[in-house]
């Protein structure tokens, strides 16, 4: 196949895949099966590998992610992203309507008043985004930031299937469209279920999850979060219509996901009816909304009304009040987490709230309990504002029984009776008995065997509890002393399950050092930090000997992590566990293959890679840079040391490099640096 033939085939596949994406993620009308879609995508990726010069930055293959963004460039908005004035009652809305009339010079005539045409839209609870399109292709995606400038998250935005990379139909040559990136409720619930199985901290709500996802450095991880995006505001010259609603309908034909719930309302009474309807129906939606946005539809009227310093005069946001109920506090339980943190939880008389039945509510910590003066037997006000566990916001003192006693926060662990600690500056109490307190021990084992750590997937939470209660496993190192005949008597443990468990434990001995370091559960040492540490120190033996100052020299290791590492290896119980793990044959140093070729030749140098190369792929060059102590970045800044430039380097990057005086080198000059 010639490059020309390949380009034609790539164009054909790209168009077909984007059409299928549009039907599935925007219209909710899939036209082919997932298997057929994946087959087409694999064909496209294979062709682009064979003919890298044909790869477009807006290819459907880019939606799977894989690019790493170490820092997000700050970009100034062409049009400031102003916030909206908020209203919380009908009086505010009526006053808004009055001001709009006065601003437009419309005199009230009683029953025959001229009605303003408003557009009412759902106020999605997520992350505001601005998308810029040039000649029908996505050019840039920018977060709201402070309204004047935001972060360039284009790479991550491309992984969201409902954001079109190429448009259809007739559209302006250059325009901006704004919307909200959000995480659907079913996706959020599934994600938290997976995190719970891994003993990871649960995400608070879909809004925070969406915002955090868009700032992830690895776009492949963003793609796994299955984010979605509604668009609701068009900006630019030569827009097709003179009204907001019509322009959004046109945007829908270009390929954008526009909410079908938006509606034209004539007069403020229809607006209020729309708000009241969705205040009741919002819990039926598969995503979160926290209000309704009201906009004057006509652009000429918008222009006449203008702006204040902070917000447009032609729009307002009606915020739903977080639903509150009153119910009886039956008891207060204290839960112990994997790290030993104590969380007080209120057990309530079951009550309907926000479309669900609430039986528990968070009390957060001792300070909150003292501040609210909450007592068992009180009738408390419970609010659910998008959080997983609703929270108690107050006490109905009119219903308080005079015989109720003040709540005294526990002083000893409810699981092991150890005296609790509370470090200065910490909001939570902690149980210090990390090696014998049952929930901590079980939680640490669950973390150790989790997919991102030792990946012993045949060892689930229930089996771990059984092993612990049977006295077979008290520490993570005890797993490697298990015998098949010991686990067979366990409940629901058949011959095949026992074999799988023993094979999984044996296979985990080949897990590389960086994941073993993450698995042993040193507080504050996550996946990325563990990877940075192992690359630097090469072995556990070297890590144990490092001083605090030497630890601080490692990328991403600060004071808290350095102290945590030192404390971990000073603990005698931890030392014994590590000795047993070493004896069991776990990997506590990098192999010769992993260490081969590593130097510090590129230390303190930051590289940006752009273009197509002959000798090695972009990913291989990135690995070389990291192997020799350098850092990769996706964006050019004053801190950039070199741009490794291949053929077809992007003109925007070239222009920025020249303006900042960043040196460009080709791949042969780069390889010469490594000699």
Other C-beta atoms closer than 10 Å to the C-beta of 155 total 22
Nearest in space to 232 (alpha carbons), one of 217, 216, 214, 244: 244
Contact 392, 382 (CB under 8 A): yes
Catalytic: which of 123, 631, 653, 656? 123
Q: Are 117 and 298 in contact (CB under 8 A)?
A: yes
Contact 366, 342 (CB under 8 A): no
How far apart CA 252 and CA 179 sit, in angstroms, is 13
288 close to 205: Cβ distance less than 8 angstroms: yes
Phi-psi label, residue 379: left if phi above 0, alpha if psi -120 to 50, beta otherwise: beta
What secondary structure, in 3-state letters, does 557-572 show?
CCHHHHHHHHHHHHCH
Number of helical (H) and strand (E) elements in the chain, helices listed first: 25, 20
123 is catalytic: yes
Residue among 281, 294, 293, 291 at smallest CA distance from 319: 291
Helix residue ranges per DSSP H, 166-284: 185-197, 206-214, 219-224, 244-254, 268-281
Q: Is 203 helix (H, G, I), strand (E, B) or coil?
A: coil
Residue keyed to tokens 């102590």? 629
Residue 354's alpha-carbon distances to 35, 90, 153, 570, in angstroms, are: 38, 22, 33, 49
Cα–Cα dist 624/606, whole Å = 13
- Exposed, middle or buried, 105 (CB in 10 Å: 0-12/13-18/19+)? exposed
Q: How far apart are CA 514 and CA 79, in angstroms?
A: 45
What distance in Å separates the CA atoms of residue 126 and residue 584, rounded to the nearest whole number?
47
Q: With H, G, I as helix, E, B as strand and everything else as coil, classify residue 627.
A: helix
Beta-bridge mates of residue 332: 346
CA distances from 241 to 68, 118, 247, 250, 535 (A): 40, 16, 6, 9, 57
Active site residues: 123
């Amino acid at each position: 196949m010639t490059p020309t033939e390949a380009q034609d085939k790539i164009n054909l596949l790209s168009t077909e895949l984007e059409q299928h994406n549009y039907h599935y993620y925007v219209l909710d009308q899939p036209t082919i099966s997932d298997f057929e879609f994946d087959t087409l995508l694999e064909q496209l990726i294979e062709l682009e590998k064979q003919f890298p010069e044909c790869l477009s930055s807006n290819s459907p293959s880019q939606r799977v992610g894989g690019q790493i963004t170490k820092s997000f460039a700050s970009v100034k908005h062409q049009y400031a992203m102003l916030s909206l004035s908020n209203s919380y009652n009908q009086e505010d809305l009526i006053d808004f309507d009055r001001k709009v009339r006065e601003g437009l010079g419309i005199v009230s005539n009683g029953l025959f008043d001229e009605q303003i045409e408003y557009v009412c839209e759902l106020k999605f609870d997520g992350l505001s985004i601005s998308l810029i399109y040039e000649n029908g292709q996505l050019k840039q995606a920018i977060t709201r930031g402070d309204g004047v400038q935001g972060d360039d998250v284009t790479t991550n935005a491309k992984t969201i299937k409902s954001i079109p990379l190429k448009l259809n139909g007739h559209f302006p040559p250059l325009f901006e469209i704004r919307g909200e990136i959000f995480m659907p409720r079913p996706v959020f619930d599934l994600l938290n279920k997976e995190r719970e199985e891994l003993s990871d901290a649960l995400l608070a709500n879909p809004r925070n999850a969406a915002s955090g996802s868009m700032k992830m450095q690895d776009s492949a991880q963003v793609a796994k979060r299955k984010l979605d995006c509604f668009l609701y505001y068009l900006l630019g010259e030569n827009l097709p219509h003179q009204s907001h609603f019509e322009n959004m309908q046109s945007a829908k034909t270009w390929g954008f996901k526009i909410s079908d719930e938006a509606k034209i309302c004539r007069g403020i009474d229809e607006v209020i009816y729309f708000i009241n309807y969705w205040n009741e129906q919002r819990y039926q939606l598969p995503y979160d909304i926290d209000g309704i946005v009201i906009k004057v539809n006509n652009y000429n009227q918008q222009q006449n009304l203008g702006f204040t310093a902070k917000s447009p005069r032609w729009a307002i946001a009606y915020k739903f009040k977080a639903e509150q109920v009153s119910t009886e506090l039956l008891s207060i339980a204290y839960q112990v987490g994997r790290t030993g943190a104590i969380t007080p939880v209120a057990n309530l008389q079951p009550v309907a709230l926000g479309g669900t039945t609430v039986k528990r509510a968070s009390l957060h910590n001792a300070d909150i309990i003292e501040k609210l003066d909450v007592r068992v037997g009180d009738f408390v006000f419970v609010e659910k504002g998008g959080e997983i566990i609703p929270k108690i916001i107050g006490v109905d003192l009119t219903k308080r029984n005079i015989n109720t006693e003040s709540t005294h926060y526990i002083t000893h662990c409810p699981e092991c009776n150890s005296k609790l600690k509370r470090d200065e500056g910490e909001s939570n109490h902690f149980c210090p008995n990390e090696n014998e307190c049952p929930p901590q021990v079980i939680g640490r084992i669950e973390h150790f065997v989790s997919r991102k750590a030792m990946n012993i997937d045949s060892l689930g939470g229930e089996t771990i509890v059984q092993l612990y209660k049977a006295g077979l496993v008290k520490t993570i190192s005890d797993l490697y002393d298990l015998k098949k005949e010991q686990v067979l008597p366990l409940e629901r443990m058949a011959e095949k399950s026992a074999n799988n468990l023993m094979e999984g434990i044996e296979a985990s001995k080949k897990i590389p050092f960086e994941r073993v370091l993450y698995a042993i559960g040193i507080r504050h040492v996550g996946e990325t930090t563990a990877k940075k540490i192992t690359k630097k120190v090469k072995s556990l033996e070297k890590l144990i000997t490092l001083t605090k100052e030497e630890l601080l020299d490692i990328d991403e290791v600060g004071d808290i992590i350095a102290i945590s590492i030192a404390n971990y290896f000073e603990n005698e119980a931890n030392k014994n566990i590590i000795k047993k793990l070493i004896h069991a044959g776990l990997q506590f140093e990098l192999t010769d293959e992993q260490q081969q070729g590593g130097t510090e030749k590129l230390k303190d140098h930051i590289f940006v890679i752009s273009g197509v190369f002959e000798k090695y792929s972009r990913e291989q060059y990135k690995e070389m840079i990291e192997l020799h102590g350098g850092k990769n970045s996706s964006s050019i800044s004053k801190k950039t040391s070199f741009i490794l430039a291949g053929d077809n380097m992007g003109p925007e990057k070239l222009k920025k490099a020249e303006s900042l005086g960043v040196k460009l080198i080709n791949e042969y000059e780069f390889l010469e640096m490594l000699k």
